[in-house]
Amino acid sequence: MDEQNYTDLLKKVKSSVQKREEMKRFQIPKPETITEGKLTIIKNFRDIVDVINRDESHIYKYLIKQFGLSGDVADGRLIFKGKPPEGSIEKAFQEYLRIYVQCYECGNFDTEMIRENRNELIRCKACGAERPLFAHKEIKYSEGKIDEGKTYDLEITDLNRDGDGISIKGDTTVIIPGAKKGQKVTVRIDRIRKNYALGILVKKT
């Protein structure tokens, strides 16, 4: 291997390590909530929004729709008129990250929302991957973790840039080559990685 090729390879390795370290460090502040009468208040909502790096009103509308509550944003605080289920606020923020921020390809959170030909996309600044953005109601979350070698019945909710099917099982994004958006399939989990799992299409239902 000549010196130039070695230098290029070394740069790629360093870049890959740096990206993985950035992914490990990424985290949003824990929601600081208080209750005042029938109101539930997230005191540090503005701080969370700044870290997520999305439009404040977009996150606000997602949350009130998620809980079926009315609310308002004032002085950096989000105020719900009602009480979300215990523990659900933090989970809702994590689901927002999964749907509107995290890259399905490399797992990075350094992404941006863009619009092309009337379609909204999520573009990853780290690996360049793009995926169409769909409304939350089209993303179906199932409970429970997954295990290698086991089979699961899933619904394909999205496609990655290579045209492979994507489904969500518990906290894991499952990539299924050969599956198409909207299909209900039986999948055997072949490999599990940190941010995703690879599935083998067993049967279409």
Q: Which of 187, 183, 184, 132 is nearest to 161 (CA)?
A: 132
| 69-75, long-range: CB < 8 A, 24+ apart | 73/45
* 5, pLDDT greater than 80: no
Rounded CA-CA distance 56/48 in Å is 10
Q: Which of 27-31, 35-39, 74-78, 115-119 comes out lowest in average pLDDT?
A: 115-119
Place of tokens 């749907």: 99
* 18, pLDDT greater than 50: no
Q: How far is CA 52 from the centre of its chain?
A: 11
Q: How far apart, in Å, do the first and last CA atoms of the chain sit?
A: 50
* 67, pLDDT greater than 80: yes
Output the six-digit token pair for 165: 């099917």
**CATH classification for the domain delimited by 33-100, as one of 3.40.50.300, 1.20.1340.10, 3.40.50.150, 3.30.70.3150:** 3.30.70.3150
Place of tokens 């279409």: 204
pLDDT the model gives residue 197 = 87
Compute the mean pLDDT over every residue in the chain, rounded to the nearest whole number: 82
Q: 105-144 as b/e, with b when 16 or more CB fall inside 10 Å?
A: bbbbbbbeeeeeeeeeebebebbebbbebeeeeebeeeee
Do 15 and 106 touch, CB atoms closer than 8 A? no
Domain residue limits, the chain: 33-100, 105-133, 139-204
Rounded CA-CA distance 82/3 in Å is 64
**Residue 64, CB-side half-sphere exposure with 13 Å CA sphere:** 15
User: Which fold is adopted by the domain 139-204?
Assistant: OB fold (Dihydrolipoamide Acetyltransferase, E2P) (2.40.50)
